[in-house]
Amino acid sequence: MRNYGPIDDVTVFELYPGIQLTRDNIEHYRALAEQKLVINRCGDCGYWIYPHRPMCPECWSLKVKPEEISGFGTVFMFTLLYQLRDPKSHIMEPVPVAAVELAEQKGLRYLSRIVNCAPEDIAHDMPVRLTWIEIGNMEWPAFEPVPGGLG
Ligand SMILES: [Zn+2]
């Protein structure tokens, strides 16, 4: 695990130069740099809100705050990417990318990579858990099968 110490806003911008950071998503990326996956949650009704938005779509509350998730979920859908965006990448094998339905709430889905699993073994509703992978000198969230199948 990397330790950046207290991560101020300027550092978050420096860590993620390719990402359009806003007041709604900066806490998400600040947490990623600390290897924590946080999702915004409504402080009034408890609804989890993703993609990042400033207002709760359920009760219109503006009391939206980031909260760490359990890291467990299931594969809602997935695809195999045969080409990464970086044309200089030597990786040619398919990269499994999935919408993981997080255990916190029905319909709360996070797009991420599936690792530690052969592409042909990935299945819908497969239980997965959060792990971290290094891409371009940064740690990024990914999901792997839960041993034994239950989270
Ligand atoms: Zn709400």
Cβ atoms within 10 Å of 90's Cβ, excluding its own: 6
pLDDT at residue number 149: 65
Closest C-alpha to 103, from 145, 75, 137: 75
In this structure, what are the phi and psi dihedrals at residue 89, rounded to the nearest 5 degrees? -65, 140
In this structure, what are the phi and psi dihedrals at residue 18, rounded to the nearest 5 degrees? -90, 5
- Average pLDDT across each block of 10 residues of the chain; the chain has 151 residues. List them in order: 72 92 94 94 97 94 96 96 70 86 97 94 96 90 86 45
Closest C-alpha to 118, from 141, 95, 134: 95
Q: How far is the CA of 3 from the centre of ligand 1 (A)?
A: 33
Q: What is the pTM of this model?
A: 0.86
pLDDT at residue number 44: 98
Q: How far is the CA of 87 from the centre of ligand 1 (A)?
A: 42
Q: How far is the CA of 48 from the centre of ligand 1 (A)?
A: 8
pLDDT at residue number 4: 52
Q: How far is the CA of 130 from the centre of ligand 1 (A)?
A: 26
Residue showing tokens 């990269």:
95
pLDDT at residue number 5: 62
Q: How far is the CA of 41 from the centre of ligand 1 (A)?
A: 8
Q: How far is the CA of 55 from the centre of ligand 1 (A)?
A: 8
Q: Which secondary structure element, helix H or strand E, spans residue 97, and what is its range? A: strand 95-102
Rounded Cα distance between 113 and 100, Å, is: 9
Q: Which amino acid makes up residue 139?
A: E
Q: How far is the CA of 58 from the centre of ligand 1 (A)?
A: 5
Going by the DSSP 8-state scheme, the letter that residue 83 receives in this structure is S
Torsion (CA) 74, 106, 76, 96 in degrees, nearest 10: -70
pLDDT at residue number 151: 45
Sheet holding 48-49, edge to edge: 48-49, 38-42, 64-68
